[in-house]
C-alpha cells in the first residue's frame, strides 16, 4: 500500500453555529410550538468558495493539527478516524503535502498574501454572487422609508447630544468659498441620461483627479512613493480602477483598466456574447438607476501591496476601506465640478466582477463600485437633495457648470 502524504490544517478556518428552523404540522394541530430548530456547524475557510458543513468530531480533529507544520499521516490517523480525516481532506480543510489541488493552491496564495485570518474570512464570505438587491427589497415588503419605520420604528436621531456637557462654545459659521459651493452640489445621482455620452476629456479628468498620480519620490532603489489626491495606509496606494465603459465618445463599450503610470486606459478582453448593459446590472446587483451611468468604475484592492508592510495586521483592512472612501469622495467632487452625476455603492456582485476582469479575490478583490456620467434632465427616480442644489421643485435639473 503506498505511503500516504503528510498533512496539515489549512491556514485559516473559523467555525460558526447555524440554526435551521422548519415547521411540524402535527405539533401545530396539537396546539404545540410547531417550530423545530436544528443546530449545525459550518467551517468558514477563506480559500474555499463556500462554507463547509462540519460535525463536532471534525472540529476536534482540526484542533489537533498544526496549520504550519506537516505531520506524517500515520501519526494523525492514530488520533483521527479515517472517515473523518478523509472527509476533511476532501473538503479542503486538511491539506496533503505535494498534492496541489485547487484548495491547496488557494491556501498557499492566502498564506503568501499575508492576510490576517479573521479579515480574510470576513472578506471572502461577504462577497455576493447573482444577487438582485432590488428584488430582495421587493420580497421584504419594505418599499419606502414609511415601510421601514413601520417595521423598525424611527431611526436613531441625527444629532448626538451629550447631556453631561459642562459648557458649550459656539463656533463661527464659515464664509462660503469655491470649495463649499462644490461640496454643496455633491449628491448621489440616481438619474443618468442614457442618450448622452461622456466626453473622453471628462473621463480623463475624473480618473486623474480621483485615482491618478500627482507626483512620485524614490525612497529606496526600486521602492517608489506616489502622491495621489487621497491618503493611503503606509502611503502604499493599493487601489486599482477597473472600468465598464458604456457611453464615452470615441471609445468602444467594454472593460478597461486604468494604467496609473501611463495615465491611459488598457482595454481588456470580454467574454463571448458580452453585453455592457446586462453586465452593468449584474455589477450593481440590479440597481438599474446605477447601471445607467456612462461609466462604472470598480474599486479593487491589490492586497499584497498593503500586506507587504502590514503583514497579518488586524487594522489594515480598515485602512483600505477608509482609502476607498476617500477616493470615491474625490471622484464625486471631480464629477460634480464637471456638472456630472456620481455615486458609490457597496451593493455589488463581487464574484461576477472578479470573473469578468479576471481577478483573484484574495490578491485583488473588488470592494465598491463608483459610477459617473451626464445627469438626466428630469428626475424620475428618487434622489436625496436636501439642499435643493440639483433639482428644482418640479424635478427638473438645475444648471450646473464646472
Please write the tens of the pLDDT for every residue from 315-355: 999 999 999 999 999 999 999 999 999 999 999 999 999 99
Contact 205, 342 (CB under 8 A): no
Q: Model confidence at 111, in pLDDT bands (50, 70, 90)? A: very high
DSSP state of 185: H
Same domain, 51 and 193: no
Domain C-terminal end among 78, 96, 112: 112
Of residues 109, 92, 128, the one with CA closest to residue 362: 109
- In this prediction, residue 35 carries a pLDDT of 77
- In this prediction, residue 187 carries a pLDDT of 96
Does residue 395 lie in a domain region?
no
Cα distance between residue 104 and residue 312, in whole Å: 20
Half-sphere exposure of 133 (CA within 13 A, CB side): 17
Q: What is the pTM of this model?
A: 0.91
* E strand or H helix that includes residue 21: strand 14-23
Same domain, 189 and 310: yes
Q: Is the pLDDT of residue 34 over 90?
A: no
Domain C-terminal end among 75, 97, 112: 112
Cα distance between residue 365 and residue 354, in whole Å: 7
Q: Is the pLDDT of residue 123 over 80?
A: yes
Q: Is the pLDDT of residue 137 over 90?
A: no
Does residue 103 lie in a domain region?
yes
Count of structural domains within the chain = 2
Does residue 278 lie in a domain region?
yes
Q: For residue 367, give the C-alpha cell.
A: 470592494
Of residues 386, 361, 375, the one with CA closest to residue 121: 361
Three-class DSSP category at 188: strand
Q: Which domain range does residue 254 map to?
A: 181-373
Q: Which residues are 241's β-sheet partners?
A: 299
- In this prediction, residue 402 carries a pLDDT of 45
H-assigned helices in 45-163:
56-64, 73-77, 82-91, 102-112, 117-125, 133-140, 145-152
Same domain, 200 and 283: yes
Same domain, 107 and 197: no
Same domain, 106 and 185: no
Cα distance between residue 302 and residue 361, in whole Å: 9
Q: pLDDT of 75-100, one tens digit each? A: 999 999 999 999 999 999 999 999 99
Q: pLDDT of 172-202, one tens digit each? A: 998 999 999 999 999 999 999 999 999 999 9
Half-sphere exposure of 45 (CA within 13 A, CB side): 27
Same domain, 57 and 196: no
Does residue 391 lie in a domain region?
no
Does residue 160 lie in a domain region?
no
- In this prediction, residue 1 carries a pLDDT of 53
Does residue 77 lie in a domain region?
yes
Average pLDDT score over residue span 141-155: 88
Does residue 76 lie in a domain region?
yes
Q: Higher confidence at residue 223 or residue 24?
A: 223
- In this prediction, residue 27 carries a pLDDT of 72
Contact 351, 365 (CB under 8 A): no
Q: pLDDT of 212-261, one tens digit each? A: 999 999 999 989 899 999 999 999 999 999 999 999 999 999 999 999 99
Same domain, 107 and 186: no
- In this prediction, residue 2 carries a pLDDT of 67
Q: Higher confidence at residue 222 or residue 292?
A: 292
Taking the CA atoms of 63, 67, 69 and 73 in sequence, report the sign of the dihedral they define.
positive
Domain CATH number, residue 204: 3.40.109.10
Amino acid at each position: 500500500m503506498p505511503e500516504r502524504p503528510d498533512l496539515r490544517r489549512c491556514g485559516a478556518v473559523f467555525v460558526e453555529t447555524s440554526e435551521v428552523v422548519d415547521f411540524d404540522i402535527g405539533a401545530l394541530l396539537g396546539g404545540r410550538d410547531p417550530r423545530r430548530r436544528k443546530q449545525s456547524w459550518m467551517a468558514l475557510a477563506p480559500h474555499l468558495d463556500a462554507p463547509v458543513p462540519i460535525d463536532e468530531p471534525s472540529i476536534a480533529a482540526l484542533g489537533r493539527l498544526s496549520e504550519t507544520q506537516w505531520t506524517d499521516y500515520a501519526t494523525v490517523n492514530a488520533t483521527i478516524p479515517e472517515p473523518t480525516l478523509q472527509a476533511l481532506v476532501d473538503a479542503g480543510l486538511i491539506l496533503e503535502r505535494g498534492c496541489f489541488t485547487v484548495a491547496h493552491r488557494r491556501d498557499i496564495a492566502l498564506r503568501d498574501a499575508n492576510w490576517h485570518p479573521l479579515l480574510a474570512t470576513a472578506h471572502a464570505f461577504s462577497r455576493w454572487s447573482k444577487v438582485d438587491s432590488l428584488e430582495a427589497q421587493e420580497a421584504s415588503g419594505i418599499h419606502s422609508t414609511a415601510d421601514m419605520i413601520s417595521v423598525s420604528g424611527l431611526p436613531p436621531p441625527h444629532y448626538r447630544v451629550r447631556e453631561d456637557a459642562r459648557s458649550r462654545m459656539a463656533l463661527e459659521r464659515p464664509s462660503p468659498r469655491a470649495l463649499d459651493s462644490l461640496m454643496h452640489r455633491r449628491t448621489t445621482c440616481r438619474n443618468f441620461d442614457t442618450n448622452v455620452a461622456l466626453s473622453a476629456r471628462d473621463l480623463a479628468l475624473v480618473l486623474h483627479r480621483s485615482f491618478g498620480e500627482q507626483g512620485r519620490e524614490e525612497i529606496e532603489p526600486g521602492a517608489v512613493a506616489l502622491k495621489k489626491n487621497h491618503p493611503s495606509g503606509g502611503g502604499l496606494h493599493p487601489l486599482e480602477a477597473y472600468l465598464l465603459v458604456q457611453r464615452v465618445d470615441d471609445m468602444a463599450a467594454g472593460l478597461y483598466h486604468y494604467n496609473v503610470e501611463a495615465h491611459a486606459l488598457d482595454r481588456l478582453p470580454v467574454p463571448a456574447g458580452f453585453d455592457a448593459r446586462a453586465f452593468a446590472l449584474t455589477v450593481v446587483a440590479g440597481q438599474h438607476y446605477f447601471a445607467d451611468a456612462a461609466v462604472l468604475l470598480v474599486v479593487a484592492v491589490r492586497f499584497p501591496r498593503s500586506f507587504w508592510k502590514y503583514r497579518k495586521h488586524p487594522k489594515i483592512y480598515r485602512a483600505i476601506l477608509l482609502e476607498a472612501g476617500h477616493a470615491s469622495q474625490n471622484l464625486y467632487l471631480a464629477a460634480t465640478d464637471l456638472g456630472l452625476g456620481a455615486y458609490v455603492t457597496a451593493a455589488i456582485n463581487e464574484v461576477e466582477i472578479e470573473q469578468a476582469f479576471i481577478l483573484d479575490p484574495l490578491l485583488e478583490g473588488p470592494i465598491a463600485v463608483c459610477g459617473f456620467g451626464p445627469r438626466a434632465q428630469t428626475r424620475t427616480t428618487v434622489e436625496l437633495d436636501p439642499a435643493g442644489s440639483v433639482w428644482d421643485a418640479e424635478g427638473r435639473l438645475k444648471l450646473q457648470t464646472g
